[in-house]
Amino acid sequence: MKKTQEADNVVIENFRIRVFRAVAQHLNFSRAAEELLLTQPAVTQQIKALEDELGLPLFDRGGGHIVLTAGGKALLPFAEKMKELSDEAFAAVAEAFGQSAGELALGASQTIGQYLLPTFVAAFRRANPKVKVTARSGNTDEMLEALLSRAVQLALIEGPERRKDLHIEPFMEDHMVLVVPATHGWADHEIKVEDLKSEPLLMREFGSGSRRVVEQALSKVGVKAKDLTISMELDSTEGLLSAVEAGLGITFVSRWAVRNQLSLGTLKIARVQGLKLSRRFSMAYPAGPEPTGTVGIFRRFLLSQAMEIAPKRTGRIAVP
């Protein structure tokens, strides 16, 4: 989808600048060529033509790797602004005819990316069929870094975040639940917080928004990380759920992540007295004015419709 939109925008955006931006992002001519649907010699030719036009080298190709020169670093912010202006131009023309168009690059933390984002994007695209959407996922820290590096335009994240360089805006509520094997003694029962100290606990990796939410909630009720028996750390929610099904321990996950397993009866919920694991999913974008163009349209779409279009829960989910 991204490649198609790039091809559409070439009539507005300088082609050599577009090639430069791709090489600068990847610092690899072959990967840039793959993204642009060009041959590597064609990419090299375009970069050389741009360097000849400017009279300065943009990349240092020595030492077996590629880095931006001082001139390349100076040009990159302007190349990114040209891309933004090109997208805004397409969006403005489409809006004049009552439509939305352009490119939207989204980042999403894993829970949102796997369980909610496809539904959000599908609903958004039904209302805005001319918007080309690309998406990537990772943990919360990775998505915020992708936002700062301009690899994505908007990041959907989980967990509390405070950063001066980004604006963090909640768009829907979520609850995390304690998941246990179907045959576990805690299944469909209520336990005390202190009971958690005696069971092997499976956790997401450091940098995960879900992990921060769990640690902060436990800390508020007097349970520190050192009091827990963290038997395994995994880098995905699906990995956590599979490990619980295999009897390796218990875990906390979003209610959205476990709805299918609850419906099938392969996993169960245990309620924890006094433990509140509600949180908000948030969207992050650079500090400053509210987003415009396709980013602004998607932001308003989420704020107004996220809860209504979220996947319907299946099975009975007990929320503490």
What pLDDT shows up at residue 312? 61
187 with 318: CB under 8 angstroms? Answer: no
Determine the residue type at 314: T
Determine the residue type at 185: G
Closest Cα partner for 256 from 210, 190, 302? Answer: 210
Question: Is residue 109 within a helix (H) or strand (E), and if so which, with residue range?
Answer: strand 101-109
Q: At a CB cut-off of 8 Å and minimum separation 6, what does 105 contact?
A: 2, 133, 134, 135, 151, 152, 153, 154
Q: Is the pTM of this model over 0.85?
A: no
Q: What is the DSSP string of 203-238?
A: EEPTT-HHHHHHHHHHHHTT--GGGSEEEEEESSHH
115 with 311: CB under 8 angstroms? Answer: yes
| pLDDT, block means (10 residues), the chain with 320 residues | 40 80 91 86 93 94 87 92 76 58 87 92 89 90 90 86 84 92 95 93 89 90 89 92 96 91 94 90 90 89 86 49
